[in-house]
Structure 1
Amino acid sequence: MIAGWCDRQILAPMTFEGYCNSDLFENWVEQFLVPELNAGQLVVLDNASFHQSQRTQELIEQGASSLLFLPPYSPDLNKIEKFWARLKQYLGQTLNRFDLLWDAVDEAFRYMS
Structure 2
Amino acid sequence: MDNLSSHKSKNVEEAINARGAKLIFSPPYSPELSPIEYYWAKMKKYLKKKCAKTRDELDNAIKEACEFIDHSDISGWFRHCGYCI
Using the size of structure 2 for normalisation, the TM-score is 0.51
**Count of residues paired in the alignment:** 68
Q: Percentage identity across aligned positions?
A: 40
Asked if 1:107 corresponds to 2:52, the answer is no
Higher relative contact order (CA 8 A, sep 6+): 2
- Aligned CA distance change for structure 1 residues 91 and 65 (closer, same or farther; 3 Å): farther
Higher helix content, 1 or 2: 2
Q: Which amino acid aligns with 1:105?
A: I
What secondary structure is seen at the aligned counterpart in 2 of 1:96?
Answer: coil
Larger radius of gyration: 2
Higher strand content, 1 or 2: 1
Q: Which amino acid aligns with 2:68?
A: Y
Asked if 1:73 corresponds to 2:29, the answer is yes
Which residue in 2 is equivalent to 1:36? none
Which residue in 2 is equivalent to 1:86? 42
Which residue in 2 is equivalent to 1:48? 4
C-alpha distance in structure 2 between counterparts of 1:47 and 1:111, whole Å: 29
C-alpha distance in structure 2 between counterparts of 1:108 and 1:49, whole Å: 30
Q: Displacement, 1:101?
A: 5.2
Q: Displacement, 1:74?
A: 2.0
- Aligned CA distance change for structure 1 residues 56 and 110 (closer, same or farther; 3 Å): farther
Q: Which moved more, 1:51-60 or 1:95-104?
A: 95-104
Structure 1 unpaired stretches of 5+: 1-44
CA contact (8 A) 2:3 2:28 kept: yes
Q: Displacement, 1:52?
A: 2.5
C-alpha distance in structure 1 between counterparts of 2:14 and 2:59, whole Å: 31
